[in-house]
Structure 1
């Protein structure tokens, strides 16, 4: 079993769901970013990390600001991969997913990118603007390097596309709580919770929900609905920016305690 399978199997036995924090690599600067990632990783079941890109179409204002800080601090793909290698050394058993925009992969070179991702210990890659219909662009490189591909799925995803996502996904299905950009919100819609239950009836892949998940109460609601994981990004960044590292650790701990 790979790291994702081992993690979800363990959580199932413990009657828990995965706490999956997201962080933009290099935010607010390389040194502080590593410190923040290591802090949330202590509480995380799975890590989701982002590569900064100048035009992050799927991201709301909080993560766009994080991207800007990272780029202004001089981060690029090579430096991000170096950071992931350090994180992997500290957390050898924890699954690490990468969110990266297609332009960065193409600029780096598809085969080289996936090869270097394997060297750094990345378990999955999500390319948010790449539909599953275009998977042939990267599928062979992913398979050769034993890296799972993760795709976004929402209430608007038609059934035929859902099936393609199930057929080509590894790790988990990234379920979008709202068909829009990322960002914290106050409550989860009944549609989101119903979607989780619907997807659970269609696939054995773990169902993890992101985009707008921002409180321990959201995590509890997702668990009750049958989700396998909760992905939180914007709220972590907001708390760190406003209150610092100790508050970030406290919030991550409260999230982990709600699974």
Structure 2
């Protein structure tokens, strides 16, 4: 069993034993600065985050809505560089040896470093998984091969309206977890949550999929409860977390406190009893 897979597998096994789902916050590395970004990660972990999904700052994040787009621009304006992101990840890994860490990137960033070199850098930094947001399944073979060569779990998005054939492909190709979308479109928050049909989760399980985490629109504890009640193994929350960073970016101590409190509330909602 590869080391990169064991962190996710161990996490999901432990959560199942405790009758809990996973809560996974997302942030963009370097937002609002590289130093604060590292403190933000620690605040999220202190609040009980079970794993992290971290975005590499990119100038054209097409899968993201305005909140996370703005986070990318803030990070780039503050001078965030890919090398700095990997150095930060290495420090986080040293402090948290068992925490699953996933990256969400765009393919230009992978190609800028070279596919093999990018995944090698992920391995060196202690990254567990990589999701390339703008690479569809049909174009993913070279990325999957490079990921597996370097012991990195490839993760793919499963749209809510995916065909049975696509669900089967996603289940076969994804390791660590599957990113199951609650709705079509881009990332964002809302008062109500659109849940995928139970059919999607049932089919993924029938195809021996890695556990499915529900994302897009997860912005409050009730959404986490609904996601887990629907059969998902957990929930990913991005825009709601990033909104707190944006609102309090000039009040860092208050921001960190708000992030920890938000994470505590979201994590509490993963408990099934």
Question: Smaller-chain TM-score range?
Answer: over 0.9
Note the C-alpha offset of 1:155: 1.8
Q: Distance in 2 between matches of 1:193 and 1:73?
A: 43
Which one of 38, 45, 61 corresponds to residue 34 of structure 1?
Answer: 38
Note the C-alpha offset of 1:192: 5.2
Task: List alignment gaps of at least 5 residues for structure 1.
Answer: none
Aligned to 2:264: 253
Which one of 216, 219, 228 corresponds to residue 223 of structure 1?
Answer: 228
* Count of aligned residue pairs for this structure pair: 259
Aligned to 2:107: 102
* Pairwise CA RMSD: 1.4
Give the 3-state SS of the residue equivalent to 2:167 in structure 1: helix
Give the 3-state SS of the residue equivalent to 1:160 in structure 2: helix
Give the 3-state SS of the residue equivalent to 2:145 in structure 1: helix
Which one of 87, 96, 106 corresponds to residue 92 of structure 2?
Answer: 87
Aligned to 1:6: 10
Note the C-alpha offset of 1:19: 0.5
CA shift digits 1:35-59 (9 cap, x unpaired): 1111102311111000011000000
Q: Distance in 2 between matches of 1:5 and 1:109?
A: 29
Q: Distance in 2 between matches of 1:84 and 1:196?
A: 31
Q: Structure 1 residues 81, 225: CA separation in 2 closer, same or farther (over 3 Å shift)?
A: same
Aligned to 1:53: 58
Aligned to 2:251: none
Residues 17 and 228, structure 1, Cα contact 8 Å, conserved in 2? yes
Aligned to 1:178: 183
Note the C-alpha offset of 1:193: 5.7
Q: Structure 1 residues 190, 124: CA separation in 2 closer, same or farther (over 3 Å shift)?
A: closer
Q: Distance in 2 between matches of 1:186 and 1:198?
A: 28
Residues 124 and 148, structure 1, Cα contact 8 Å, conserved in 2? yes
Q: Which runs of structure 2 are paired with 1:99-138 in the superposition (5 Å)? A: 99-138=104-143
Give the TM-score normalised by structure 2: 0.91
